[in-house]
Structure 1
Amino acid sequence: MFHPKMTGIALALSAAVLLPGCVSFGGKPPQQLLTLDAAQKVPAGAARVAGSGRTLIVADPEAPKMIDNVRVPVQVGPTSVAYVTKVQWADTPRHLFRRLLAETISATTDRVVLDSGQFSGDGGQRLDGEIVAFGLDAPGNQAVVTFDAVLATPEGVAIARQRFTASQPVGAKIDAATVGAPLNAAANKVAAEVAAWVAQAR
């Protein structure tokens, strides 16, 4: 006896079995995902109490489109940019760098660090800025991180502004295996300098 419904189910099951071998959903995953690891970390159990203008809101920095994605840019020449193959950031650099800044400032200053979604009424400050460079310089064979920091009131009135930059040498060649450590080191150096600047700017 012929059952149209059963035949349809059998065809659907056959298609499901064959599908993985001939169709690929999404792009090929990278061999490596990179992230940033803070050199200075807040110890477990450390407690801070907000008050007397000690809070600091660390906002996500701005970044140009060349940087605001998960690929790792390589400045090949003054007007030419490529991207490192087989490697990506686990998140966009501006989000990763914000977390690195927040952790470093928390670990090395007396500030109570908040993100932009939190609120404190103690009249603290806000750290904004723009990531100008976050990638590789091919002619110099270096990892370069440059951040324009802006310290402001919670209402957005600028108090101080300064550019911070750091570079670290890359290995013999720029590839997926050599870019992570120098970028992390350069980002940590910038974060440490920003933290020291924030601690002095009262």
Structure 2
Amino acid sequence: MARFGLAAALLALTGCVSLGGAKPPESLLTLTPEMSAPAGSALNASQAETIALHEPTVPAEIDVLRVPVKIDSSNLAYLKHAVWVERPAQLFRRVLAETIRVRSEKVVLAGGDPAARGGMQLRGSLTEFGYDASRSAVVVRYDATLLGEDGSVRQQRFEAVEEGVLAEPGPVGAALNRAANEVARQVADWAK
């Protein structure tokens, strides 16, 4: 009787769960930092020597789990079968945090906790993060603003472009990872 009840419950549950009939993607894209602090490494700093890293703002076409394809100046599509494991702004912030930590040896506060205020505040906008069909290229563009504890403000635009990329999920994902790491290196060196 218990087996019958369990089987009936499972059958009822399958009627409630809908996957939309869509086939799941073969794989999901992610970003990985090219440099990482080794396990056990520690940094000590006063609050004035820390950087609070905020999640970048993004336009609507990037704030999704798909890879935008710029067809021309007024048309946009999404790369077929290319799906991020999570939003690109979150992925990029993690790469940027790890790169700043390794290259500058600064304590980076990147957890999103509003109470964790660093001596410096790094804010920015990820304005390009996708594929440009007219150039067969991936483009990563980040506009950074660094607010110092003394009230100083610095701004700079960083960009990495990798051309000759096939419009397929694997090559585009790998190229975006390399370009994101290149932009993160540029930002880390600038924010020292």
Greater C-alpha radius of gyration:
1
- Tell me: CA distance 1:15–1:147, structure 2 relative to 1, closer, same or farther (3 Å): closer
Match of 1:190 among 178, 183, 186: 183
Q: Does the alignment pair 1:82 with 2:74?
A: no
| Structure 1 segments unaligned to the other structure (5+ residues) | 1-5
Gaps in structure 2 of 5+ consecutive residues: none
Provide the TM-score with structure 2 as the length reference: 0.86
Residue of 149, 152, 167 corresponding to 2:161: 167
Query: In structure 2, the residue corresponding to 1:177 is in which secondary structure?
Result: helix
Aligned pairs (5 A) from 1:41-190: 41-51=36-46, 53-115=48-110, 116-117=112-113, 119=115, 124-153=119-148, 159-171=153-165, 173-190=166-183
**Secondary structure at 2:161's aligned position in 1?**
strand
Matched residue type, 2:141: T
Deviation at 1:118, TM superposition (A): 6.3
Check whether the contact 1:150–1:158 (CA below 8 A) recurs between aligned residues: no
Alignment of 1:35 with 2:42, yes or no, is no
Residue 105 and residue 36 in structure 1: after superposition, are their counterparts in 2 closer, same or farther (change >3 A)? same
* Alignment CA distance shift 1:158-1:72 (3 Å): farther
CA separation in 2, counterparts of 1:44 and 1:192? 21
Partners of 2:65 and 2:130 in 1: CA distance: 11
Q: Distance in 2 between matches of 1:35 and 1:168?
A: 17
State how far apart, in whole Å, the 2-side matches of 1:85 and 1:140 are: 18
DSSP 3-state at the match of 2:66: coil
Shift of 1:184: 0.4
Distance 1:154 1:63, change over 3 A: farther
Letter in 2 for 1:33: L
CA distance in 2, matches of 1:52, 1:32: 40
Distance (Å, rounded) in 2 between the aligned partners of 1:93 and 1:154: 28
* Letter of the 1:196 counterpart: D
Give, in whole Å, the separation in 1 of the partners of 2:189 and 2:174. 23
**For 2:182 and 2:99, how far apart are their aligned partners in 1?**
10
